[in-house]
Chains A and B, each alone.
Chain A
Amino acid sequence: MPHKRTDRVQRRGFLKGAAVGGLAAAMAPLATAAQDTSQPARNLPRSAGPTPGNVETSARAQGVTYASCGGDYMVDVMRSLGIEYFAATPGNTFMGLHESVVNYGMTTAPNLRFITTMHEEASVAMAHGYAKIEGKPMACAFHATVGLQHASMAIYNAYCDRVPVFMLTGAGIEADKRSSAIEWIHTAVDGPGMVRDYTKWDDTPGNLQGFGESAVRAWKFAMTPPYGPTLLAVDTELQENEIPGGATQRPPIPRLPSSRPPSADAETVREVARMLVGAEHPLIYVDRCARTPAGLKMTVELAEILGAPVVDSGNRMGFPWRHPLNQGRRFGELRSQADVLLALEPGNPFELVTAKRPDGELRRILNDNAKSITISSAELYPKGNYQNLERYAGMVDIAVQADAEATLPFLIEEVRRLMPAGRSAYDARARAFAALHQQDYNTALQEAVYGWDASPISMPRLAMEMYEVMKSEDWSLLSHHYWQSSWSQRLWAADKHHQYIGGSGAEGVGYTSPASLGAALANQKHGRLSVAIVGDGDLMFGPGILWTAAHERIPILYIVHNNRAYHQEIMQMQAIANRRQRGVDRAGIGCAITDPNIDYAMVAKGMGVYSEGPVENPNDLGAALRRAVAVVKKGEPALIDVVTQGR
């Protein structure tokens, strides 16, 4: 952002004169002045370029010590925002902040704990998972340029999944302070620009006061629906230097106001409520609408008042899995029958209401007289490059640009007001759907028997063996159920917000293993049993997360869904190869994870994690899971490598 750059340099120049004590500090402006007398005095500290004899200083100058520092102020700002954790792989450009977290944040209350990761992608993914459980951001930091580059895919996941993440990266604003060739390589004039397409907001503050204000603003924007990651590029000198004037002169910490997310206007709420109450076949579709446990209660309340069926996207805990009105297996038929479809925060409204026939013709899924309504905050913050908004949904009838969870209280109130005195028709509808739900559950049990005794182990067998050891605990499933053909959703009873958090958002591989650990970190203080089914391919993107789990003593049960492949891609390779009439016998090349088979239990042991496997006999699975859960309940991570069927 060049327009900010000039001003920043001026402010930094002013800061420098005040911040750096001693002879070196005094000499720097003098030396600069000698090089460029045409500049006004307030600009004197600008870099004069590499002229021999020019004396350049920084906080790293030998012999300079001080008792207060910018990094400590930054820690206090983060603590004021309720940030509890700071995940990072170390990097020179944020070492001033790193040291402050370790020697100030971790030693004084309220504690800000450093979480050591082995890849910047893991730092972001941990923060991603944490936020979905805890409902607020944790911090993560990256080395300038290379660290941020590593982090970028995980940032895109968080952006697409609408999750708040508070991110920091180093920056070397003043050229003369870059002390080595490496620091030049690790500097970008506009570092955040690389990820700006998929962050909600970024800034490069020029002084400590600016950092405080921008940090609070970054937190606030991250937490304003639609949620998303925000990024601050923080000057290395600003982190490392003494606070200008000493500790007594530290800037105040800006106050965070109580925010109110945008809800639909009263007239729109009345109109939507009228349509829902008057509908003969209403259908509610829930996507990322329950941002909080209160949101989940409200989706249930709305459905129960109306006796309306609900279909859940699987991207969040949007509706209890065994609620009688949950009709996830009947989406197709319910859509074709619906006269009113209400979609709450749909990620892909186009596909909700539009079908593409084999001949390419687009057709409306809903019947001609039906009305479709979306309530979504996504359109309040659109961006154009990355296409995560999906295709334009021209067949939606009413698109309400508002946060669904913030709108639900008003909608529920209005629906209640409009409900007729006699509820018999609504109750009858609810009873009919309850019977269908039970029928679907029984069907799931009957279908679960296929392949029950097979090796590799079938998905329903895995799901039921896991549930047997988890169900009496306060469990939390931290991986998307889709990759196991949604057997957990079909067979388990989940009705709490923390019991399921969906998936990556952008389908970037390597999300599940670290994100689930971040979620487990959040679950730890609540005493919950954290469980994640991670793909073998996913785990191998960043197996170092196992070391983080052991090192940080984060209790989690990892189940490796070991189908020995990037399985989705194998299936696609088969389709392409057959289309070209070449056969599928070589489709595994580049997709299979075999020859040698990876011993994940051994990998985990090497990282200090309790592990068992490979478990190939389904009859051995239950006992292995029980032993692992016992370890997790003691506060340690555990891993079971289960050799499974594909899906």
Chain B
Amino acid sequence: MMPAKLSLTIALILASAAAAAQSPVKGDAVRGTKIFTTFGCYQCHGYQGQGSNAGSTLAPNPVAYAAFAYQLRQPRARMPAYSLKILSDQDAADLYAYLLTIPKARAVADIPLLAKAQKPEK
């Protein structure tokens, strides 16, 4: 029996190879923003894709599109599977385009509450 991690890795490599051969359709980030909300992505991943204990961090710096699309269609763990019937390839591309627009967060040093917490306690 192939370990689950290994089979997933192989699948992602294959998916990445396929994606490399076929560029994803051009995504619309504005439409992707709406899809992110209407399709409930934010429930687990947060409105900024920041993640929670129910869903991984999606942005900034999202994973490669192939891996993203694979997870959408055949998710690991508890994530709902978004089949073509309910989320088209165009929808997926739009979602991904939205994730790419999420800016890098401020640095810890620029947020006083966090910067203070970073200093060693006396």
Contacts and interface: CB of A to CB of B under 8 A. Distances in A.
Interface of A: 357-359, 361, 442, 445-454, 456, 458-459, 464-465, 468, 482, 485-486, 491, 493, 565, 567, 570-571, 574-575, 577-579, 581-585, 587, 645-647
A458 B38 CA distance: 19
B9 interface: no
Contacts of A454: 46-48, 50
25 contacts: A358-B4, A447-B51, A447-B57, A448-B108, A448-B114, A450-B46, A450-B51, A451-B47, A454-B48, A458-B46, A458-B50, A485-B54, A571-B44, A574-B40, A578-B80, A578-B81, A578-B86, A583-B39, A583-B86, A584-B39, A585-B38, A587-B40, A645-B42, A645-B46, A647-B44
Contacts of A448: 108, 114
Interface string B64-86: 00000000000000111111011
Contact of B86 (A456, A468, A582): A582
Contact of B113 (A357, A459, A464): A464
B106 A452 contact: yes
B43 interface: yes
A313 to B, nearest CB: 14
Contacts of B82: 578
A6 B117 CA distance: 68
A647 B53 contact: yes
A579 B73 CA distance: 11
Using C-beta atoms within 8 Å of the partner chain, give the interface range for chain B. 35 or more
Nearest to B58: A450
A357 B8 CA distance: 13
A646 B45 CA distance: 9
Nearest to B114: A445
B21 interface: no
Contacts of A458: 46, 48, 50
A567 B38 contact: no
B52 A459 contact: yes
A647 B54 contact: yes
- Those 5 A-B pairs whose CB atoms lie nearest each other, nearest first: A450-B50, A647-B52, A578-B80, A449-B105, A451-B50
Contacts of A493: 121
Contact of B83 (A361, A464, A578): A578
A450 B57 contact: yes
Nearest to B77: A358
A574 B52 CA distance: 16
Contacts of B52: 459, 485, 645-647
B95 to A, nearest CB: 13
B31 to A, nearest CB: 16
Interface in B1-21: 1, 4
Given A448-B114, A577-B80, 12 more contacts: A445-B117, A445-B118, A451-B47, A454-B46, A570-B43, A571-B78, A574-B43, A578-B86, A579-B81, A646-B42, A646-B44, A647-B53
Given A574-B40, A585-B38, A468 B113 contact: yes
Contacts of B81: 578-579
Nearest to B40: A584
A357 B7 CA distance: 12
Contacts of A482: 53
A449 B108 contact: yes
Nearest to A486: B53
Contact of A575 (B80, B118, B121): B80
A116 B4 CA distance: 55
A567 B39 CA distance: 15
